[in-house]
Amino acid sequence: MILNFNLNVNIEKRLSVIIPVYNEEDTVLGIVNRVLARPETGEIIIIDDASKDNTREKLETLKNRENITILYQETNHGKGAAVIRGIAEATKEFVIIQDADFEYNPEDYSLVLAPLAAGKADVVYGSRFMGTPGQVRYFRHEMGNKVLTFISNLFSDIHLTDMETCYKAFKREVMQNLNLNSQRFGIEVEFTAKLAKSRQLRIWEVPISYNPRKYNEGKKITWKDGVSAFYQIVKYNVFSNKEEFYKEPWEKVLAASHASK
């Protein structure tokens, strides 16, 4: 898939990268260096979710690096809690979430950011399931993701191919306008439900590469998170008060966004 936006927009240093971390001593420094190498990166916000291995010691070696903010959770709450804390700290024009391993490649930032920088989108999902080449994946894990995406699509009435993807990029004011509550992996479902229910946001998908790691390499999501995701889909799409999803009306937020360009 090729995006012909004819971009003449300089996106250097316009991206805030939020990296939630839990027990990633073997990969955290490597992924931070890859993110720093990207010209789009303007700042990195790392949230250590009370790691029990040597992750914190590894992060301490970064504390004097320019444009890196490191936040520490004293109690483990989950990926969602870490992401929510990072969102509040973001200051750049665009924001993306980056896992602290090597499953997602920062070299895809330019592709994910293209619709945002071109003024075509307010939110962009990087899809692992749009026909991109890559390593063979776990069948049950991929089918689980696709089933959850299908169910989410039924309830939210938007057509995504990969609801559970880590790579979700936003205009900062859009991301910070969401009232988010999920502590664990349910944050992915919550993002999608609340974005879809706005009925005003322009949501795009683009293909990204994906290098799945094995469970013995530290993969954390399990079938229990799948059951939880199903519950979250029903909760946010059916039983939640939509008026509490957002801090400000989208008309106001989007008007301010367009006026600042």
pLDDT per residue of the chain (261 residues) written in tens, 0 to 9 = 455 555 556 889 999 999 999 999 999 999 999 999 999 999 999 999 999 999 999 999 998 899 999 999 999 999 999 999 999 999 999 999 999 999 999 999 999 999 999 999 999 999 998 876 666 666 777 788 889 999 999 999 999 999 999 999 999 999 999 999 988 878 999 999 999 999 999 999 999 999 876 655 555 567 677 788 888 899 999 888 888 999 999 999 998 777 666
> What whole-number distance in Å separates Cα of residue 10 and Cα of residue 1?
22
How many domains does the chain fold into? 1
In a domain, 100, yes or no: yes
CA triple 141-147-148, angle to 5 deg: 90
Question: Residue 243 has what pLDDT?
Answer: 86
Look up the domain containing 158 and give its range. 15-259
**Helix H segments across 61-138?**
79-89, 109-117
In a domain, 7, yes or no: no
Give the CATH number, domain containing residue 81.
3.90.550.10
Question: Residue 4 has what pLDDT?
Answer: 58
In a domain, 1, yes or no: no
3-class DSSP state of 178: strand
In a domain, 3, yes or no: no
In a domain, 8, yes or no: no
Q: Quick one: how far is CA 213 from the chain centroid? A: 18
> Residue 131: which region, alpha, beta or left (left: phi > 0; alpha: psi -120 to 50)?
left
Question: Residue 6 has what pLDDT?
Answer: 53
Question: Residue 154 has what pLDDT?
Answer: 95
In a domain, 4, yes or no: no
In a domain, 32, yes or no: yes
Amino acid at 171: K
In a domain, 24, yes or no: yes
Q: pTM for this structure?
A: 0.90
